[in-house]
Every structure is written in C-alpha cells, then in structure tokens.
Amino acid sequence: MSSKRKGMEAEGKTWNYHDILAQFITMHNKKSNVLLIWSGDWPTYSSNSDKYYVILAGEGFDSTDEAWNWCKANNYGPNDCMTIDLQ
C-alpha cells in the first residue's frame, strides 16, 4: 500500500520518519490488520539495494489476480497496491 524511506520525494514532499509513521497510523486506524515492515528483513526485497518501510494490507490471497481484485475493490491504484509474495 506504501513504500517510503527517509529523504524520499513522493506525493509532493520529502518524507521523514515521522511522516512514514503517521501514514502507517492513519492507514492502521482505518484497517486494523495493516502492517509496517522493513524491506531489508524480507528475502523478497533482498535484490533491491534500497530499503524501505513498507505498509502492507495484512490480507492473504491465493493468487495475484485475487490480490489485484482486492486492490481495485478498495480503490487502490497500481502505484499504491502491489502484490508481493513474502514467502
């Protein structure tokens, strides 16, 4: 749902740790199973040298099609909702 790192320019501002946490809290207040992870802790992201704080929907799906359908049904576009297998 979101991937940000300190100093990243996105959505009209330069992000800092407070902004990242505030975005997570806002999303978590709307949907309690939202998760915040550090991409460096997950092998799925290990090929990327840049590490990010990633906000996940906390939903599980059997296929990427099912995940994309969830994104669309919840009004998340391709820049805000990516299907990632964390296993």
Per-residue confidence in pLDDT tens, the chain, 87 aa: 888 999 999 999 999 999 999 999 999 998 899 999 998 887 776 666 788 999 988 888 888 889 889 889 988 887 778 777 766
55: left (phi over 0), alpha (psi -120 to 50) or beta: beta
| DSSP codes joined into one string, 17-54 | HHHHHHHHHHHHHHSTT-EEEEGGGSGGGTT-SS--EE
pLDDT in the model for residue 46: 64
pLDDT in the model for residue 76: 84
pTM for the predicted model, two decimal places = 0.78
CB 18 within 8 A of CB 26: no
23-39, pLDDT tens digit by residue? 999 999 988 999 999 98
